[in-house]
Structure 1
Amino acid sequence: MSESQDPDALAATAARTLAELTGVERHDIALTLGSGWGKAADVIGETVAVVPAEEVPGFHGSAVPGHSGTLRSIRLANGAHALIIGARTHLYEGRGVRAVVHGVRTAAAAGARVMILTNGAGGIDPAFGAGEAVLISDHINLTATSPLEGAHFVDLTDLYAPRLREIARNVAPEIAEGVYVQLPGPHYETPAEIHYLRAIGGQIVGMSTGLEAIAARAAGMEVLGLSLVTNPAAGMGDPLSHEEVLAAGRAAEPRLAELLSRIVARL
């Protein structure tokens, strides 16, 4: 994505291309499915079309194992349409912040008013066990950047929409809530860094979601965030590996898919 391109214009072009390729003029909600959450795309409704991400302007094939690299249009039971973004761009890929939030902006341009962001995360709070789903109540952005450019001031007081979190709690009363910390990655954190994050109020940590949530809010969407705790964070368990993240995601997929399906059905 060229830095000279207007990001909103590119998102509008991507949305038009998506409508042409899927045959769906408007998508009502959008979901970005991170590690462990991908199976939800198979159970929330009827797949209308699957589009390789690179066929849509501004998107790229996934650079991370565990992400599908596609955009999928799904018809829900109530007749609404959901856009599944399986081609998340991470900040550490070096494509810039605009690329990181392009999926969110495209979803907004395609008509989505609700953005569901999911991820796999390390557990900072020892109360959160591996394999547990956590509802994001707030976040701390430690990427040292923002998706907003210029004098664009956006209130983030209720960034993770209370209405949507209430729906999630009604579906799963047992679900824990926590504060998510986004760091740029791609390396995992040191034990000293995890100690710092815990001291400032972080409870789960990962390399996505926060910047996307800000862009979604700026675009006028309601945001729901969900994390799968794939492992205890650095210094709180065994040494970390991406294979461990993928294995935890595979083990939790059926349960997470059922949870997300029930939430989407109530939107």
Structure 2
Amino acid sequence: MVFQLSNECADYIKSHLPEELQQPRVAIVCGSGLGGIVNGLAASPRVVLPYESLPGFSVSTVVGHAGKLVVGLVGDNRVPVVLMLGRFHFYEGHDMAATAYPVRVFAQLGIKTLIATNAAGGLRSGFQVGDLMVLNDHLNMPGLVGFHPLRGSNDDRFGVRFPPLSDAYSLELRQGVRTALKELGISRNVHEGTYAFVCGPTYETRTEVRYLTAVGADAVGMSTIPEVIVARHSGLDVLAISLITNVAVSVKPPSAHSAVPATSMEDGMANHQEVLDAALEAANDIQAVIVQVVNKL
């Protein structure tokens, strides 16, 4: 069913594309507030398709997610790409496979590379708002307890039943980010690390932050990993970049028996507007890096 539906969706997309865009090579998923990546596309040709028109696509309900697919050309080499302006989240009520359905469509389009961006909370000591983290591993918390995008019968036309994920994040693409940063002269802090995927929509408690840090996570967020898993299952190479939009609070809360003012409970508390503001500030750098990387693919 998914194979047939995703193939139908791919055919629908191709039917709306001019010849120059018929064979997109890269898919880019734009996270919260990062839709400005679309500004890296050439002005024409460019095709915009709302999610509502695409067979099998869900509708994004999150502020900062435009809910449309944009197909265009990137860089001096005019590389054809597909941009997802907004993604689907498990916390919105979609099942895990549905959150990654667009990646199945990308595979049917013949796309070979997925670039996923997201907004994330920093866990590692020293992370600051505005830093970038290139993923080199992940911790799939929902997947460990059964909420997995590959749960159910396997369709061998997509990939094998038990795909390995030890090589999930392409070394070549990660090296490409480093090269792009040097070429562009971008001084923003860029790290590599492990992203912990949690369901949301609540931000983490202090104890949850300490737990995730203790088991090796460097940043935490509510997306991306289902897309990565399905991409690897379908044979796509993956690059994923987190923008650190807040620093997660890990210190224990003040005791009711202490004289600390109650307002200290709000210190460092995360909010979605903070995420969008940080994304807006960093958007130009992320856009430039992605354009530079894609232009060499």
Shared fold by TM > 0.5? yes
Q: Deviation at 1:98?
A: 2.1
Q: Give a deviation string over 1:218-266, Cα, whole Å, max 9, x none.
A: 0010000000000001336611111111111112112221222222222
Is 1:7 the equivalent of 2:22?
Answer: no
Could you tell me whether the CA contact under 8 Å between 1:61 and 1:87 is conserved in 2? no
Residue in 2 that maps onto 1:3: none
Residue in 2 that maps onto 1:254: 284
Q: Give a deviation string over 1:49-79, Cα, whole Å, max 9, x none.
A: 1111110011133211111211000123324
Q: Give a deviation string over 1:166-199, Cα, whole Å, max 9, x none.
A: 1111112562101000001111110100100000
Give the count of matched residue pairs: 262
Distance 1:46 1:15 in 2: 23
Larger of the two Rg values belongs to structure: 2
Select between 222-231 and 173-182 the one with higher mean Cα deviation: 173-182
Residue in 2 that maps onto 1:17: 12
Residue in 1 that maps onto 2:64: 66
Q: Deviation at 1:135?
A: 0.5
Identity %: 34
Q: Deviation at 1:126?
A: 2.1
- CA 1:163–1:211: 2 relative to 1, 3 Å: same
Match of 1:183 among 176, 179, 198: 198
Is 1:218 the equivalent of 2:233?
Answer: yes
Residue in 1 that maps onto 2:50: 52
Is 1:120 the equivalent of 2:122?
Answer: no
Residue in 2 that maps onto 1:169: 178
Q: Deviation at 1:96?
A: 0.8
Could you tell me whether the CA contact under 8 Å between 1:60 and 1:87 is conserved in 2? no
Q: Give a deviation string over 1:189-211, Cα, whole Å, max 9, x none.
A: 10100100000000000000111
TM-score normalized by the length of structure 2: 0.84
Could you tell me whether the CA contact under 8 Å between 1:36 and 1:228 is conserved in 2? no
Distance 1:266 1:26 in 2: 16
Distance 1:67 1:203 in 2: 25
- Which residue type is aligned with residue 35 of structure 1? S
Structure 1: stretches of 5+ with no match in the other structure: 1-5
Q: Deviation at 1:46?
A: 3.9
Is 1:37 the equivalent of 2:34?
Answer: yes
Distance 2:28 2:268 in 1: 31
Distance 1:141 1:44 in 2: 32
Cα RMSD (Å): 1.6
Structure 2: stretches of 5+ with no match in the other structure: 155-160, 183-188, 252-266
Note the 1:73-222 alignment, pairs <5 A: 73-76=71-74, 77-144=76-143, 145-148=147-150, 149-150=152-153, 152-172=161-181, 175-222=190-237
Distance 1:79 1:251 in 2: 26
Distance 1:165 1:96 in 2: 30
